[in-house]
Amino acid sequence: MDKVVSTAAEAVDGIRDGSSLAVGGFGLCGIPSVLIAELRRTGVRHLRCVSNNCGVDDWGLGLLLAGGQIDRMTSSYVGENKEFARQYLSGELEVELTPQGTLAEKLRAGGAGIAAFYTRTGVGTQIADGGLPWRYDAQGGIDLASPPKEVRPFAVTSRDDEAEDGRRVEEHEFVLEEAISTDFALVRAWKGDRHGNLVFRTSSRNFNPLCAMAGRLTIAEVEELVEPGDLEPDEVHLPGIYVQRVLPLTAEQAADKRIEKRTVTPTTTTQEA
């Protein structure tokens, strides 16, 4: 099945006010910038986004945030966006902060058909006990807080060379985390074929495959479109069964990437040395 669409407008068709989106990328690496720009152009509002972070003030999901198009963010890191902080603290934006590994597993579980899972991450904190501010009011008070989650003990077996049978069994508490699935997923791949099989490069592989799995309709922008059969099966990171639309990028679009923080070593002249 050929899943290629010719324009960004065709790619995001169907995303309406109130839609939930899983958006790939890690920092500014591997973000679906062309699809995000198209959503900004459409003016769609009241979006509920799930992403590792919310871009920066002038790039990535930060563009939608600046336009007042996002109502809710589920993220693990939000430290690079001043507008994000302003909207959150002023009560304009609802935010659910989630540990990064937990967020990744919630997305993967949603794509794998797993309703929920137990993890030790967050036990003994507000993640499990509840009370994390999701939304503030205009006066700085907490308008909506996270609810408590189910916590239960499990027996965990670990290696113990001093034990007679070589193992130790201890009881630990685990918190129940529910899976995440969304109406749509937006991802960016290094390569992709017409069937939607995708290959991601380096850090862009962190969240893109997981977001793609979580979306009920997944849209992938690809830097290089290849024909079916051109990708070796072993190099495919995400099979096309998870992808419904493929948008090939132009060379200019593929090259338009931002560096979140540029760090360089000052040059020294011989005289200075």
In a domain, residue 167? The reply is yes
The reply to whether 93 and 215 lie within a common domain is: yes
The reply to whether 34 and 165 lie within a common domain is: no
Instruction: Tell which residue, 228, 238, 244, 212, has the closest CA to residue 32.
Output: 212
> Amino acid identity, residue 19?
S
The reply to whether 155 and 219 lie within a common domain is: no
CB environment 15-28: b (16+ within 10 A), e (fewer): beeebbbbbbbbbb
Q: DSSP characters for 91-123?
A: TSSEEEE--HHHHHHHHHHHHHT--EEEESTTT
Encode pLDDT of 65-102 as tens digits.
999 999 999 999 877 788 999 999 999 999 999 999 99
Q: Please report the pLDDT score of residue 239 as a whole number.
A: 97
Cα(228)–Cα(172) distance, integer angstroms: 48
Strand partners, 50: 22, 74
Cα(130)–Cα(18) distance, integer angstroms: 26
Instruction: Tell which residue, 14, 33, 97, has the closest CA to residue 257.
Output: 33
> For the purposes of burial, counting CB atoms within 10 Å of the CB of 71, is it exposed (0-12), middle (13-18) or buried (19 or more)?
middle
**Domain containing residue 227:** 18-115+181-255
Would you mind telling me the total number of residues written for the chain in this entry?
273
Mean pLDDT of 226-230: 96
Q: How confident is the model at residue 164 (pLDDT cuts 50, 70, 90)?
A: confident
Q: How confident is the model at residue 160 (pLDDT cuts 50, 70, 90)?
A: confident
The reply to whether 132 and 157 lie within a common domain is: yes
DSSP 204: G
Q: Please report the pLDDT score of residue 271 as a whole number.
A: 60
Task: Evaluate if pTM is beyond 0.85.
Answer: yes
What pairing do the DSSP bridges indicate for beta strands 70-75 and 47-50?
A: parallel
**Is the pLDDT assigned to residue 270 strictly greater than 70?**
no
CATH of residue 76's domain is 3.40.1080.10
The reply to whether 149 and 244 lie within a common domain is: no
In a domain, residue 164? The reply is yes
Final residue belonging to a domain, choices 142, 157, 178:
178
The reply to whether 174 and 185 lie within a common domain is: no
The reply to whether 32 and 108 lie within a common domain is: yes
Q: Which two tokens stand for residue 112?
A: 């794998």
In a domain, residue 157? The reply is yes
In a domain, residue 146? The reply is yes
In a domain, residue 270? The reply is no
Considering Cα of 227, then 228, then 230, then 235, what sign does the dihedral take?
positive
Encode pLDDT of 7-64 as tens digits.
999 999 999 999 999 999 988 899 999 999 999 999 999 999 999 999 888 899 999 9
User: Which of 175 and 156 is assigned the larger pLDDT?
Assistant: 175
The reply to whether 88 and 161 lie within a common domain is: no
The reply to whether 23 and 97 lie within a common domain is: yes
Q: How many domains does the chain have?
A: 2
Instruction: Tell which residue, 50, 100, 102, 41, has the closest CA to residue 71.
Output: 50
> Amino acid identity, residue 271?
Q
In a domain, residue 120? The reply is no
The reply to whether 36 and 152 lie within a common domain is: no
Cα(176)–Cα(240) distance, integer angstroms: 30
In a domain, residue 160? The reply is yes
Question: Residue holding tokens 């749509």?
Answer: 184
Q: Please report the pLDDT score of residue 261 as a whole number.
A: 76
**Is the pLDDT assigned to residue 242 strictly greater than 90?**
yes
Q: Nearest-5° angle of CA 136, CA 142, CA 143?
A: 70
The reply to whether 76 and 204 lie within a common domain is: yes
Q: How confident is the model at residue 162 (pLDDT cuts 50, 70, 90)?
A: confident
Cα(49)–Cα(100) distance, integer angstroms: 15
Mean pLDDT of 94-123: 97
Encode pLDDT of 190-201 as tens digits.
999 999 999 999
**Is the pLDDT assigned to residue 269 strictly greater than 70?**
no
The reply to whether 109 and 200 lie within a common domain is: yes
**Is the pLDDT assigned to residue 161 strictly greater than 60?**
yes
In a domain, residue 37? The reply is yes
Mean pLDDT of 147-157: 96
